[in-house]
Amino acid sequence: MAGIAASISWLGSQLSCCHNNLPALALSLVLLALLLDYVKRRKRSSRWPPGPTPLPFIGNLLLLDVKNPHKSVQDLEKKFGPVISLQFGWRNMVILSGFKTIKEALGQNPENFVDRAAVPLLNLINRGKNCGGIVVATCDNGWREQRRFFVSLLKNFGKGKPRLEERVSEEAGYLCSEFKSKEGSPFDPQILIYRAVSNIICTLTFGGRFEYSDEKFLKIMHPLQEILKEVTRNLPQLIVAGSWFSRFPGPHRELQKRYEEVSTTLREIVNEHKKTRDPTFPRDLIDAFLDEMDKAKGKPENSFNERNLINIIFDLFGAGTDTASSTLLWGLLNMVDHPEVQKRVQEEIDEEIGRVRSPVMEDQLKLPYTCAVIHEIQRCADILPVAAPYTTHRDTEVGKFIIPKETVVFNHLSSVLKDETMWEKPHEFYPEHFLDADGQFVKREAFLPFSLGRHACPGEQWAKAELFLFFTNLLQHFTFRIPENYPRPKTERLFALTVHPAPFQICAIPR
């Protein structure tokens, strides 16, 4: 180590004496960066997880397949095992794979993974101290109190007004009307499903739904979709954005622009709520949040501020819409690919509910096969292959390795949903995964589409209600088929933070 210290001291002296010689200065900076990178790797424990050798400056960024980062992780897992170390830029990262490994980490040591990893990019879109939103907020910028607020809001939503379940059923009716208007002709269901799911978030957030062609509604939806596309196209650059990278032109500038477009519309809606709200009767999330802002006046360190309200609404649309809509699209694809499954679901719905009464959540107990199919759709869709990153609170032992404190950790959820040691037919669509010998629905321990630990999805029950009610309503009223003389829809998986299917045409034949 004395030799390394001497080398750093020598480089420092070279930097001080060649500040007027730009080529020499550049060379000295490069040498210093290489040396620091070497020192950083030398300091790693002998129990540091294995992984590919990082390149100076960029680390392992070139290994990331932007079109399918999940495939990159799979390849690394085959070579290095279930605990893999990577380096992105200067940051050390670890990826955990497989049910056993992830359960050991998050199940046995949840407090060690209680914090989110800081994402420098978020500083470029107004997510600094006490305004980190909820999905990727860290403990020091309001995650705990915002999670409590959101869980409480979902629990109490509907008191004195229609419950969230009733709102979902109502929206499912509007969606069925849109499908019926196609009169059995081929159409792409993506836009209609995306807007139907978005309207549930509008109901929760704004107190009511929009018509699918409403101008204000579209001013929110279009930029959100563009943001997802922009993130997907430029993932490696955006991973390091927010540090020195942010000083240069690049994709993060377009992301900022789109973010401001959505924020402007959301601020208009918040301002309308300020004028019309009744503090004794909150109508929605915005009213409830404004009430909390009133209570928090004089407490500058709290996270109930208007800037954070915009970020939380943004998170709900960005996370909630894409996940549920993608899952429903995969569900329709699975139904046309497996008409025998579709028929059996319809027979069960006809027998237990009929074709007149709308399904309700209590019907789940009567529809074991339908519930098994919905769970298998989620398992196969695998829409969130890699969950948002954590950072370790302290040194943590996972398997035979030590993950040091403040290491960024990703969970490879796809490796759990397709774990060959946990599922009979992990790479096939097989609803019987969730049925016992008597045909009754059974929960599976390795079914973790909503993740695990302290950061498991807080809206899990809400999402389950959406999937059950939308899916059963659609199958109650329609039979889905591939249009005549059309090729079978592609099963290609397109990555856009979540995984969605390639655009496809379908026929919804009224029953």
Residues flagged as binding site for heme: 457
Residue matched to tokens 């002709």: 185
Residue matched to tokens 């070279």: 14
Q: Give helix then strand counts, H and E, for the chain.
A: 18, 11
Each as own residue / partner, the long-range contacts of residues 486-492 (CB below 8 Å, 24 or more positions apart, any chain) are 486/186, 488/336, 488/337, 489/333, 489/336, 489/337, 491/333, 491/337
Annotated binding site: 457
Strands 493-496 and 478-481: unpaired
Closest by alpha carbon to 377, among 302, 428, 446, 309?
A: 428
Region label for 305, one of left (φ > 0), alpha (ψ between -120 and 50) or beta (otherwise): beta
Q: Would you say 342 and 475 are in contact if contact means Cβ atoms under 8 Å apart?
A: yes
Strands 498-501 and 493-496: antiparallel
Structure tokens at 1: 């180590």
Closest by alpha carbon to 117, among 145, 86, 94, 146?
A: 94
Q: Which residues, in sequence order, are bridge partners of residue 391? A: 115, 408
- What 3-state DSSP class applies to 281? coil
Is the dihedral angle over the CA atoms 461, 466, 467, 472 positive or is it negative? positive
Residue 482 and residue 109: Cα distance in Å, rounded?
47
